[in-house]
């Protein structure tokens, strides 16, 4: 039987890359992401008994990471409002043509999504979390997670197709 320190170490070693990628995807700054990771580990250690007893400990840790990242964004006064709408990826075809790597374009499109959609698509399609875990992380219901994921995927798909057509409509 593992003791609490071994279980904590096991949890952290299994999720450390996910925590860093999540923090980095939210704040966009490696130094701040590393600070968030350290703060996350500290909070997880202090609440280890309840976290390790939780049904979804990975989701619990990611929720802590998400909340800390939001705090960092608020401190920088750069948090976006979810209802401000989608940002325009590019207003002219020339700018899109310069984006030779489809991965960069897709990342740009995902980064332009409202926060909940951006986090949902990242957690599901990049990190491989289950819908139930994402709902736990976002403190939301599974229906909302599915809806945000569907909307995010649809928008990304439409924008990639538009970019690949260089902004021209083809009928």
Cβ contact 33:27 at 8 Å: yes
- The DSSP code sequence of 52-87 is HHSS-HHHHHHHHHHHHHHHHHHHTT-PPPGGG-PP
Total Cβ atoms within 10 A of residue 85: 10
* Range in 37-46, 78-87, 110-119 the model is least confident about: 78-87
Q: Under DSSP, is residue 153 helix (H, G, I), strand (E, B) or coil?
A: helix
How far, in Å, CA of 80 to CA of 118, rounded? Answer: 12
Residue 20: pLDDT band with limits 50, 70, 90: very high
* Domains located in the chain, CATH noted: 1-79 (1.10.1740), 82-171 (1.10.10.10)
Residues 6 or more apart from 167 whose CB is under 8 A from it?
90, 92, 93, 96
Between residues 99 and 30, the one the model is more confident about: 30
**Tokens 């008994």 belong to which residue?**
49
How far, in Å, CA of 107 to CA of 139, rounded? Answer: 25
Within the chain, how many helices (H) and strands (E) appear?
Answer: 9, 0
The mean pLDDT of 17-37, rounded to a whole number, is: 89
What's the pLDDT at 89?
Answer: 43
What's the pLDDT at 43?
Answer: 92
Longest dimension (CA), the chain: 64
Give tens-digit pLDDT for 60-114. Answer: 898 899 889 888 877 765 334 433 433 444 444 444 344 445 667 788 888 899 9
How far, in Å, CA of 29 to CA of 51, rounded? Answer: 27
> Cα–chain-centroid distance for residue 37?
14
The mean pLDDT of 138-155, rounded to a whole number, is: 94
Residues 6 or more apart from 17 whose CB is under 8 A from it?
none
Whole-model pTM: value is: 0.56
Average pLDDT along the chain: 79
Residue 146: pLDDT band with limits 50, 70, 90: very high
């Amino acid at each position: 039987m593992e003791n609490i320190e071994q279980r904590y170490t096991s949890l952290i070693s299994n999720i450390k890359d996910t925590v860093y990628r999540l923090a980095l995807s939210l704040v966009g700054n490696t130094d701040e992401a590393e600070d968030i990771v350290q703060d996350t580990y500290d909070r997880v250690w202090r609440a280890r008994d309840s976290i390790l007893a939780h049904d979804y400990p990975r989701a619990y840790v990611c929720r802590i990471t998400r909340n800390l990242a939001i705090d960092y964004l608020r401190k920088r006064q750069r948090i976006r409002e979810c209802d401000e709408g989608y940002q325009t990826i590019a207003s002219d075809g020339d700018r899109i043509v310069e984006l030779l790597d489809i991965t960069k374009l897709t990342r740009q499109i995902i980064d332009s999504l409202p926060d909940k959609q951006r986090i949902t698509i990242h957690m599901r399609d990049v990190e491989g979390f289950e819908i139930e875990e994402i709902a736990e992380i976002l403190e939301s219901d599974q229906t909302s997670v599915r809806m945000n994921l569907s909307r995010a995927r649809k928008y990304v798909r439409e924008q990639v197709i538009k970019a690949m057509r260089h902004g021209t409509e083809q009928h």
